[in-house]
Amino acid sequence: MNSESPQAATVLVRGETLPNQPETTQNTSPPPADKKIGPEKELSEAKLKMRSSLPALADDADIGVQKQQLVTRDGKADLSFVGTLLASAAPSSAPQGQWREYRIYETNGGKHVFSKVTRNIVADQPDTCEADVFDPAPSSVPSKLLKGAHDLTHTRPKTWADAAVGFFGYDPISKALYRKLSGQFEEHIS
């Protein structure tokens, strides 16, 4: 072993030569979780802020307030209506940088709108938006025929709660959403 002090090294940084830089030990610790995910992926500051407030959502203060609503849908026309946000739910954390937000609205016309938004904190990854409308009194002939067939095979007519379960299912987020609405989503047995 040579007991001399380390020699100055030439370091290449992005193709530039920086002479006389002191030698440093390699940093083996991972980058901060909120700076990069995978190689070269920029994160959205706005979505990082949203993630840090989970399970709270930006529109939680609007629950129960009647106002003009706009629900975005991928591959279909967005839904615009006057109505009330009945409930919303999201997970308490998103360790993989992705999470779902569920919302149920009631329109002034008595319809219900169900919305699923999947968020991703990577800046170039767009959110995915799904939505569906439950109309308790469909007006078109095919809808009436389908409703009639449904009524023949079921003991009771389909309700908006049935439609919500058909849209959201029973994952942990949807169960949290249902608990915020009441016990009508529970199966009552004796």
Query: Does position 8 have pLDDT exceeding 50, yes or no?
Result: no
Q: Does some domain include residue 78? A: yes
Mapped onto helix, strand or coil, the DSSP state of residue 83 is: strand
For 56-78, what is each residue's pLDDT tens digit?
A: 999 999 999 999 999 999 999 99
Domain that holds residue 166: 40-185
Q: Does some domain include residue 24? A: no
Q: Which residue has the higher pLDDT, 21 or 141?
A: 141
Q: Does some domain include residue 145? A: yes
Q: Does some domain include residue 190? A: no
**Residue type at 8 in one-letter notation:** A
Query: Does position 170 have pLDDT exceeding 70, yes or no?
Result: yes
CB 103 within 8 A of CB 115: yes
Q: Does some domain include residue 137? A: yes
Query: Does position 85 have pLDDT exceeding 50, yes or no?
Result: yes
Q: Does some domain include residue 56? A: yes
Q: Does some domain include residue 117? A: yes
Work out how many domains the chain is built from and give that number. 1
Question: Which of 96, 88, 108, 62 is closest to 164 using CA atoms?
Answer: 88
Q: Does some domain include residue 60? A: yes
Mapped onto helix, strand or coil, the DSSP state of residue 57 is: coil
Q: What is the pTM of this model?
A: 0.70
For 137, residues 6+ apart whose C-beta sits below 8 A from its C-beta are 110
